[in-house]
């Protein structure tokens, strides 16, 4: 069931989203060669918990053990922070995080270069960010969920990349994952209609190579099947009559 949020619920999600944006900014400031993904997780968790009423959504969600998902290079999503995973110059790190405040969740992800990365890698990050922007641009009242995925995929494939098909964006609210599913592919004017008050997480996962993915033996970490690099950018947005608003940023227009 797709739920429509009240103004109060939306403002609570925006508050959660501001904490989340702050946590991701703090992580980004501290990404550098020699830092472990567990150190970044500790920083984010401490930051989130320093805000009264806020808690990390991921910790305990489906028994996930940490507050961040940290996915390096060919890892697409759901990497588990570890003191044994130390960042190296030229890596890319996808950081996914959720914050729960007042019983409502916000969800956002970004991919951060570690030190100096190759031009081809910068291009992958840029295009994935642009594909998210295109998806958000298509997430307007009167469009359908298929318009979002279509817009994302057009941008990614025009640059020669592929979008992950087996993982999708989602509705979000009192539950972290709600209906509808928001794939990063689709047909215009297909799928559930977008109406004011819907809150969804749009999250392109873009592979430099083929779209196929597989899960590692830890049962969490998802990697590209061909070993190619993967980037992930995500925002939680609310569909509004006056335009779509991003809820996971530090200052909101």
13 touching Mg ion, by CB under 5 A: no
Q: Where are the alpha helices (DSSP H) in 62-187?
A: 119-138, 145-158
CB of 169 to Mg ion, least distance (A): 6
Q: Is 16 exposed, middle or buried (0-12, 13-18, 19+ CB in 10 A)?
A: buried
Q: Which of 96, 130, 147, 178 binds Mg ion (CB under 5 A)?
A: 96
Which residue, 90 or 192, has its beta carbon nearer to Mg ion?
A: 192
**What whole-number distance in Å separates Cα of residue 160 and Cα of residue 65?**
35
Which residue, 158 or 192, has its beta carbon nearer to Mg ion?
A: 192
**Segment (H or E) for 93:** strand 92-101
| The length of the chain, given as a count of residues | 253
Which residue, 56 or 146, has its beta carbon nearer to Mg ion?
A: 56
CB of 108 to Mg ion, least distance (A): 6
Q: Residues with Cβ < 8 Å from 194, sequence gap 6 or more?
A: 139, 140, 141, 142, 143, 144, 145, 147, 239
CB of 215 to Mg ion, least distance (A): 17
20 touching Mg ion, by CB under 5 A: no
Residues in 179-218 that interact with Mg ion by CB under 5 A: 201, 203
Which residue, 84 or 222, has its beta carbon nearer to Mg ion?
A: 222
CB of 167 to Mg ion, least distance (A): 9
Q: Buried (b) or exposed (e) across 103-129, using 16+ Cβ within 10 A? A: ebbbbbbbbbbbeebeeebeebbebbb
Q: Which of 176, 224, 183 is nearest to 20 (CA)?
A: 176
**Segment (H or E) for 15:** helix 7-30
Q: Which of 19, 40, 87, 109 binds Mg ion (CB under 5 A)?
A: 109
Which residue, 87 or 95, has its beta carbon nearer to Mg ion?
A: 95
CB of 132 to Mg ion, least distance (A): 12
107 touching Mg ion, by CB under 5 A: yes
**What whole-number distance in Å separates Cα of residue 213 and Cα of residue 222?**
7
How many residues touch Mg ion under the rule CB under 5 A: the total is 6
Contacts with Mg ion, residue ranges (CB under 5 A): 96, 107, 109, 201, 203, 234
């Amino acid at each position: 069931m797709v739920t429509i949020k009240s103004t109060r619920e939306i403002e609570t999600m925006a508050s959660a989203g501001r904490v989340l944006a702050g946590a991701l900014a703090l992580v980004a400031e501290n990404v550098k060669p020699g830092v472990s993904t567990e150190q970044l997780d500790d920083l984010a968790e401490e930051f989130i918990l320093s805000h009264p009423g806020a808690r990390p959504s991921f910790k305990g969600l489906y028994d996930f053990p940490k507050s961040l998902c940290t996915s390096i290079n060919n890892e697409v999503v759901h990497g588990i922070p570890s003191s044994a995973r130390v960042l190296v110059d030229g890596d890319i790190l996808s950081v996914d995080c959720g914050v729960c405040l007042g019983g409502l969740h916000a969800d956002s992800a970004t991919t951060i270069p570690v030190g100096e990365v190759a031009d081809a890698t910068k291009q992958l990050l840029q295009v994935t960010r642009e594909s998210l922007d295109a998806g958000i641009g298509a997430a307007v009242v009167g469009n359908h969920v298929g318009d979002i995925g279509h817009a994302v995929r057009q941008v990614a494939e025009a640059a020669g990349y592929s979008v992950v098909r087996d993982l999708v964006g989602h509705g979000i609210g009192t539950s972290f994952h709600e209906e509808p599913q928001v794939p990063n592919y689709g047909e215009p004017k297909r799928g559930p209609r977008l109406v004011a008050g819907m809150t969804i997480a749009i999250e392109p996962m873009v592979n430099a190579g083929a779209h196929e993915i597989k899960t590692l033996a830890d049962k969490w970490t998802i990697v590209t099947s061909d070993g190619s690099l993967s980037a992930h950018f995500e925002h939680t947005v609310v569909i509004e009559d006056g335009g779509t608003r991003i809820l996971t940023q530090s200052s909101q227009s």
